[in-house]
Amino acid sequence: MISWSVIDTWIIIVGVLSAVGCALPGAYLLLRRQSMMGDAISHSVLPGIAGAYLIMGNREPLTLFLGAIVIGIVTTVLIRLVKHGGKIEDGAAMGVVFTALFALGLVMIRRAADHVDLDPDCVLYGAIELTFLDTVPFLGMDVPRAALLTGGMLLANVLFLGLLYKELKLSSFDPGLSDALGYSSRFLHHLLMVAIAATMVASFEAVGSILVIAMLIVPPACAYLLCNRLLPMLLVSAGFAAASAVLGHLSAIALPPVLGYEDTSTAGMMALAAGVLFGGVFFLSPKSGVLAQSWRRVRLGAQLLSEEVLGVLYRRQEAPGVSARPVLAPEELRRGAQGRTVEWLAGRRLVRQGYVRPVPGGFELTEPGLHEARRLIRAHRLWETWLVEEMNLRPDHVHGPASRLESVTGEAMEEELARETGAPAMDPHARRIPPAEKH
């Protein structure tokens, strides 16, 4: 069904090299909250390339690199100028500068189209499918020029980020301290921007500017949602970048046939693959994923609800003239719960812990349940006492805080609480505080 060839292998190699080469410096952009600087430079680099072609008359890597350095610095300086002059936010300043420069670049390229073999479309979407046509001998092999270029850029980036690891970390986290310690944060900012501009020109021919932005930010964003430290974040970013490149090309040749087409743009698919991976992380990340967040919320809700159930049953039991074990009707549980999941989880939790057992018409407390309920009520009422006495809160305002506090009260804290409040027999609402049980 899919015919694999050496071309595909090279496409994947070039894709992976440029994606990883972008993701590493991109991680710093993300952390410095300057992701859109990537967007800005990717647009403004166009006149840099065009200018370098026009002046130098060739498209050697050195020419590209010179153009990139110049444009990286020009863009950052212009943006700062506009920001301070117009007293506007970063975003607007970037928008003004990069659109103007991009427009300039488009016109320059069209004007120079007769002399220069460069197509603005190619700059936007790249021509990774065609990189195989332009090879140079390397180590006895015919290697696509783009592979050498992106590989060299990746190496340069690793070197740059490795040498300045400490400086970039410091200036990204705390530019003020960085300046105070003598590592000029402005200088480092310029260096990073130049590195990004250079990475972009190296990757343009292969993957185009849009994909460059995707690879600069999306894989680092995945890693940001997963990692707690900088170095792992860089490595994971690189992993996601490589995965997006591979997945992107595979789906570019495998998906369209399903719909009846031949194939589609690999660069576009790589960006899309990165987006899909990010979507997965966004929902599934154990650290901050949407699912993890809502699971934590549901579990907390269930815990609070089951404690509330124990409390309600205990209070019914302690009411005067009640001898039989009180029963909690299922509707009552439902009324207290925020949503069916919480209700179900709370019920299951109580039964599995053996605190309640199902009886006709609902649930009733078991013996261990009674103990647990007594402990919670004691903690609750001690907290209410403490809040009223020590924090001078009004008695009708302490139920909420006490309910939240009771569930985190361990044995030691309970003793401490009893000591501080003088272990009274009654709480501020004149209800009996159950005595401590011997553990």
Partner 1 sequence: MLEELWRVFTFQDYNTRVVMAGTGLLGLAAGVIGVFLVLRKRALLSDAVSHATLPGVILAFWASIALGMTGRSLPVLLSGAALTGLLGMVTVVALRRWSPIKDDAALAIVLSVFFGAGIALFGMVQQIEGVHAAGLTDFIYGKTASMLISDTVIIGIAALGVCGIAIALFKEFRLLCFDEAFAAVQGWPTLRLDLLLMGLIVLVTVIGLQAVGLILIVALLIIPPVTARLWTHRLAPMAALSGMFGMLGAGTGSAVSALFERLPSGALIVLSASAFFFVSLMLGTEGGLLPRLWRRARLRRRIRRQHLLRRAWELREQTGKRTFSARGLVARHAWHPVVAALELRSARRAGLVQRIDGGRWEFTPAGESEASRAVRNHRLWELYLITHADVAPSHVDSDADRIEHVLDPDMVAELEELLAREQEDTPPPSPHRLETPTNGGGNGR
Partner 2 sequence: METRTDRPTTRPAVPEHRPAPASPAGTDHSPNAPISIHDVTVAYDRKPVLWDVDLDVPEGRLVGLIGPNGAGKSTLLKAILGLVPVISGRVAIYGKPLSKQRKLLGYVPQRESVDWDFPVTVRDVVQMGLYGQVGWFRRLRREHVRRADEALERVGMTDLADRQISQLSGGQQQRVFLARALAQDAQIYLMDEPFAGVDSATEKSIVALLHDLRNAGRTVVCVHHDLQTVAAYFDYVILLNMRVVTHGATADVYTEENLRKTYGGQLTLLSSAATALAQRH
246 binds partner 1 (CB under 8 A): no
Q: What 3 state SS string does 230-299 have?
A: HHHHHHHHHHHHHHHHHHHHHHHHHHHHHHCCCCCCHHHHHHHHHHHHHHHHHHHCCCCCHHHHHHHHHH
The helix (H) or strand (E) run that includes residue 112 is none
Interaction mask 126-165, partner 2, x per CB under 8 A: -------------------------------------xx-
CB of 26 to partner 1, least distance (A): 9
# residues contacting partner 1 (CB under 8 A) = 67
- Check: CB of residue 66 under 8 Å from CB of residue 72: no
Binding partner 1 (rule: CB under 8 A), the pick from 167, 179, 263, 318 is 263
Question: How far apart (Å, rounded) are the C-alpha atoms in residues 382 and 171?
Answer: 49
Nearer to partner 1, 17 or 270 (CB): 270
Binding partner 2 (rule: CB under 8 A), the pick from 2, 55, 62, 177 is 177
Pairing type for strands 141-144 and 356-359 reads: unpaired
User: Helix 35-56 crosses helix 185-226 at what angle (to 10 degrees)?
Assistant: 130
The dihedral sign for the CA sequence 248, 250, 256, 262: positive
Question: How far apart (Å, rounded) are the C-alpha atoms in residues 350 and 387?
Answer: 29
Binding partner 1 (rule: CB under 8 A), the pick from 56, 73, 74, 107 is 107
Nearer to partner 1, 33 or 404 (CB): 33
290 binds partner 2 (CB under 8 A): no
Interaction mask 58-97, partner 1, x per CB under 8 A: -----------------------xx-xxxxxx-xxxxxx-
233 binds partner 2 (CB under 8 A): yes
Binding partner 2 (rule: CB under 8 A), the pick from 42, 44, 76, 172 is 172
- Check: CB of residue 277 under 8 Å from CB of residue 52: no
Question: How far apart (Å, rounded) are the C-alpha atoms in residues 50 and 56?
Answer: 10
Q: What six digits make up the tokens of 246?
A: 């591979």
> Which residue is associated with the tokens 């490149």?
245
Kindly report the backbone phi and psi dihedral angles of residue 364, in degrees, each rounded to the nearest multiple of 5, phi listed first. Answer: -130, 160
CB of 180 to partner 2, least distance (A): 5
CA 315 → CA 310, 399, 431, distances in Å? Answer: 9, 14, 10
Q: Whose CA is closest to 233, among 20, 24, 34?
A: 24
88 binds partner 2 (CB under 8 A): no
Can you give the C-alpha Rg of the chain in angstroms? 32
Residue 89 interacts, among partner 2, partner 1, none and using kind-specific CB cut-offs from 5 to 8 Å, with: partner 1
The residues near 51 (Cβ < 8 Å, ≥ 6 apart) are 67, 70, 71, 108
Q: Single out the segment in contact with partner 2 by CB under 8 A; choices: 10-18, 60-68, 100-108, 177-185.
A: 177-185
CA 435 → CA 299, 318, 426, distances in Å? Answer: 30, 14, 10
Residue 104 interacts, among partner 1, partner 2, none and using kind-specific CB cut-offs from 5 to 8 Å, with: partner 1
Interaction mask 178-197, partner 2, x per CB under 8 A: -xxxxx--------------
Residue 181 interacts, among partner 1, partner 2, none and using kind-specific CB cut-offs from 5 to 8 Å, with: partner 2
The dihedral sign for the CA sequence 329, 335, 337, 340: positive
CB of 161 to partner 2, least distance (A): 12
Question: How far apart (Å, rounded) are the C-alpha atoms in residues 94 and 340?
Answer: 48
Residue 34 interacts, among partner 2, partner 1, none and using kind-specific CB cut-offs from 5 to 8 Å, with: partner 1
417 binds partner 1 (CB under 8 A): no
Residue 172 interacts, among partner 2, partner 1, none and using kind-specific CB cut-offs from 5 to 8 Å, with: partner 2
Binding partner 1 (rule: CB under 8 A), the pick from 120, 144, 151, 369 is 120
Binding site for partner 1 (CB under 8 A): 30, 33-36, 38-39, 43, 81-82, 84-89, 91-96, 99-100, 102-104, 106-107, 110-111, 120-121, 124-125, 210-211, 213-214, 216-218, 221, 224-225, 252, 256, 259, 261-265, 267-272, 274-275, 278, 282, 288-290, 293
Q: What residues line the site for partner 2 (CB under 8 A)?
A: 31, 33, 163-164, 166-167, 169-170, 172-174, 176-177, 179-183, 224, 227-230, 232-233, 391-392
